[in-house]
Each structure stands twice: as C-alpha cells, then as structure tokens.
Amino acid sequence: MTEPAAPRHAAVLRYLEHVTVARRLAPRSVAMISDGLLRLEARAAQEGVPLAAVQPHHVRGWLARLHQGGLAPRSVAIILSAWRGFYRWWGREGGITVNPADGVKAPKAPRPLPKALSVDHAVALAQHRTPARPGAANPLRDAALAARDHAMIELLYGCGLRVGELVGLDAQASEGAAGWLDLQDATAHVTGKGRKRRTVPMGDAALQAVREWLAHRGSTVPARDAALFLNRQGLRLSDSQVRTRLREVALRAGLPTSVHPHMLRHSFASHLLQSSGDLRAVQELLGHAHISTTQVYTKLDFQHLAQVYDAAHPRAKRKG
C-alpha cells in the first residue's frame, strides 16, 4: 500500500541534500531514503506528531503497521534504516536530543533454506572427469588440472569444507599452515570461521583423488607456493577460481543447476543427516559453534521427505 503524500519537512529536505551532495550516495540509495522518510512524514502527520517529538513507541507502531500491511521484512528494514540515519544526522545538527529509531528492530526475514544437490547429482558431479580439450597444446597438463578439480570436489562434498578452508590447505603440515591433509590418518585439518581449528575425516574417494592430484603437483603443474591446490602458474588457487572451475565442471557433468562450493557443503550436511539423523555429529563436522545453525538442515531434510511423500504416496495427490 502506497503512503499518502506528505509535505516535506525542512530538516528532511536538508538531510536528502546531505546524503546526495556531502555523502554522494547513489541515486537509487537516495531514492530509497526519500521514500522511507516520506512514509515517516505521512505517519507522523496522520497522528499529529511533530517529527522532532517522535518517540520509540511511535517508530515501533508505524513499522508494525507497515509490516502488517504487506511490506516485506527487508523493505521494513530499509525504511527503519532511513529513519535511523535521518534522526542521527538531525541529532548532530542539534534538532533533537534522542534518536527514536535507536534500539528498534525490524521484523525478522524468514531464513531461506540452503540449496543442496540431490544425492544422484552430487555423486554424478564427484565422479565426472573433464576430458582433455581436443587439440590441446598440453594434454598432460589438462589431465593434471582435471585431477586437481576432481580432488577439490571430493573434499568439498566428502568433507563439507568451506571454499576458504579448501584454498587454505597446504601440501605439507607446518606451524604456519592454515590447514593440511593427513593422508595416513585420513583426516583434513582446517581453520574455519573465528580461527577455529577442526579435524574432519576423509573418505576413500577423497583420499584417492588427492593422491592422484599430488602425483601431478610439482611436476606436470609447477609448485611455486606451499598451497595444496595450485593454478596453472603454480600459485595458490583463489576462492573465485574454485567457483569458476566448479561451475564449469558441473556444466560439463550435465547438472541442471548452477553449482557453487557452498552448495556442496550443504549437500554434505543434508545427505549425512538423511542417512544418520545425528545432528550433533553433523554440527561437529561442519564446525558450527551453535546447534541452531545446523538445525536448518533438519528443515531441508523434512523438505526432501515431503517431496518423496508427495511424489509416491497414493493419498498425497490432490485433485485440482
């Protein structure tokens, strides 16, 4: 619902000039701030409250009505940000003493479920090997890079690593290494968020893939860095390079969706939870500090079960 037009307050006009000229915000940002303040003026005018006399309870009530009127939580948050910024500036200008929008929270947006691959698609991706390009100048190097990509995918899906943890792996354990693999012990040692160290078991498929890549690393592909995963120049792969390679491999493997590294982490967690039902173990393997972060995968698991039910149960089909 569109707010009725309201007369523009002198302080509002000065603030819009401030964000346009002094702060040089983008036109779209200025337009969103202007719209938010127009709503503030309209609400205040409807209730006969001067802008300088607005209190936190006014702000909460007006935001609640906007949300109840169908405005999405993100849109309400943008409006609240415009109000808070305006009153903060007005306070510095001496127009008010207390910011009525401080401490007021916007309604929470529903947390989207993580996107995971089906088991069939995840396995198809992990098993895919990129063939050498026809007429390639260096087919041996192409085969080496295909082995590298295969090892990266096996670690992302088989160990649930974040892309930053993957590229942070070194070929050898050392005091300064952010992460490394212990092939004899079949474990990956990584540094996650908050500099937290954790150890994750490696499956046979990941072990075999890493050993195959290591046979090329330093010979077919030069090693000018301590990193486990190198680019063509022998330097540590970046996050963006891993994303690009994964997208290309998924396309060649015939997957119907674009794949990014975190999708493989989601797939690892979801498939493990479907098979084991052990939420605490999945939390430990993912390195989540709080179980509530891991619980999102129980919703994803239920969504999968609901899809199976809808597709298979004779009483699930609804008549149109």
Out of 148, 245, 265, 266, which one is annotated catalytic?
Answer: 265
Q: Is 128 a catalytic residue?
A: no
Write the CB contacts of 310 (distance below 8 Å, at least 6 apart in sequence): 316, 317
Out of 65, 193, 196, 317, which one is annotated catalytic?
Answer: 193
Going by DSSP bridges, is the β-strand pair 197-201/187-191 parallel, antiparallel, or unpaired? antiparallel
Q: Is 216 a catalytic residue?
A: no
Closest CA to 42 of 65, 20, 19: 65
Q: Is 87 a catalytic residue?
A: no
Q: Is 265 a catalytic residue?
A: yes
Distance (Å, rounded) from C-alpha 30 to C-alpha 308? 47
- DSSP bridge pairs for 190: 198
Q: Is 15 a catalytic residue?
A: no
Contact 222, 233 (CB under 8 A): yes
Write the CB contacts of 265 (distance below 8 Å, at least 6 apart in sequence): 156, 160, 161, 162, 286
Out of 9, 43, 162, 245, which one is annotated catalytic?
Answer: 162
The structure tokens 């337009």 sit at: 31
Out of 15, 87, 157, 297, which one is annotated catalytic?
Answer: 297
Out of 198, 236, 247, 262, which one is annotated catalytic?
Answer: 262
Q: Is 148 a catalytic residue?
A: no
Q: How far apart are the first and last CA of the chain?
A: 32
Known catalytic residues are 162, 193, 262, 265, 288, 297
